[in-house]
Amino acid sequence: MLDPKLVRNDINEVAAQLKKRGFVVDTTKFNTLEEQRKHLQVKLQEMQNERNVRSKEVGMAKAAGKNVDEVLAKLKDVSEAIKSLEAKFAQTQTELDDFLAGLPNIPHASVPFGKSEDDNEVVRVWGEPRQFSFKPKDHVELGANQGWIDFETAAALSGSRFVVLRGPMARLQRALIQFMLDLHINEHGYQEILVPYIVNADCLFGTGQLPKFKEDLFAVNGEGERYLISTSEIPVTNTVRDSIVNADQLPIKYACYSSCFRSEAGSYGKDIRGMLRQHQFEKVELVQIVQPAFSYEALEELTRHAETVLQRLELPYRVVALCTADIGFSAAKTYDLEVWLPGQNRYREISSCSNTESFQARRMKARWRDESGKIDLVHTLNGSGLAIGRTLIAVVENYQDELGRIHIPPALQPYMGGLEVIE
């Protein structure tokens, strides 16, 4: 959430900044609500002062032995008026809070301006796409014929956009998970964390999924408002919700493996072939909680950590700075990592690394205390390190041979019991 003081002090400047994202701020609505709030607040204070005066009059009248019926009647009228004003003020404040909760983050000054994803900027490219002496197959052709990647059984079990992995493909996925966790924990200094896959609405509001993206979530029937997580960023980041951490505890760096669940409500007909867009998928998520002064340094570091996975697997990729029109709701700046997929003959997103600055922290009331005792909001960052299913696709397609075998990258062979090729 944006700082309410910033919005109140210069709504027009905020609107101008958010316009870069293609987001139109209803300044008229905000100004109307804000004027109404101020008016009600002043009126409420006046009536509360009058109530105090009337209460004193009742006390003085009783002390003097006078009849207090008339004074009590006036006091009752004032009290009822206050109740009515309090209800109107609370309603106005709720509408203002909802308005503020619907505003996305302001893009950082370094974010390239753009009107669509076509305006994203390539920052760097690593590796060269492999030149095949045969027409490369996609992961569906390579895995489905062997029964390793089974969409039909998954559809019978759960419906479309699910998959069953068998044998060496299931083992390869498990190897990728362990490889990524070991890399981030042993070399990059992250602490492993395991979190629930079901969270309450407060968690989702804190990281920005609610209320705007409710349709992308799977709700859980039962007691309370709860949902399956769409990313482990949600519960991991919320571990500091409603808390104050000391300076010597920062940065907090977590690596978390989890399943993720997304309804893909806005992607009907998009990426319907294969494993690229599933209702259930796995990720190793990286989360950093840092002092504000170091958050952009942390963004570069976190992005490099995600890149290291691709480099160790020797998969060609590029780093893309998302433009103002393409960054996520909570993000101030985002880098996407896009891996080369021979089966599609194109780069596809495999990780998004974002700095949300204090946007999530303000919603979560996540703060830190510096050495002088001053309390301020932390900055939160997150990124996939990496998406497991898409990494599996990239390995399968980049390491295929003309016989349809899958060669195992050297970095993964120790996690596959020394296996060098999937026949």
Ranges assigned E (strand) in 252-355: 252-261, 280-290, 317-321, 333-341, 346-355
Architecture of the domain spanning 26-102: Orthogonal Bundle (1.10)
CATH class given for the domain over 117-422: alpha beta
Helix (H/G/I), strand (E/B), else coil: 61: helix
Kindly report the pTM of this predicted structure: 0.91
The answer to whether the beta carbons of residues 117 and 323 sit under 8 Å apart is yes
Active site residues: 262, 277, 349, 352, 390
Amino acid at 415: Y
- Annotated binding-site residue numbers for L-serine: 231-233, 262, 285, 382, 384
- Annotated binding-site residue numbers: 231-233, 262-264, 285, 349-352, 382, 384
- Annotated binding-site residue numbers for ATP: 262-264, 349-352
**Which of 107, 106, 98, 114 is closest to 212 using CA atoms?**
98
Helix (H/G/I), strand (E/B), else coil: 360: helix
In the chain, where are the structural domains located? 26-102, 117-422
Count of C-beta atoms within a 10 Å radius of residue 53: 12
pLDDT tens, residue order, the chain (423 aa): 999 999 999 999 999 999 999 999 999 999 999 999 999 999 998 888 877 777 777 777 777 677 767 777 777 888 888 889 999 999 999 999 999 999 999 999 999 999 999 999 999 999 999 999 999 999 999 998 888 999 999 999 999 999 999 999 999 999 999 999 999 999 999 999 999 999 999 999 999 999 989 999 999 998 889 999 999 999 999 999 999 999 999 999 999 999 999 998 666 667 778 899 999 999 999 999 999 999 999 999 999 999 999 999 999 999 999 999 999 999 999 999 999 999 999 999 999 999 999 999 999 999 999 999 999 999 999 999 999 999 999 999 999 999 999 999 999 999 999 999 998
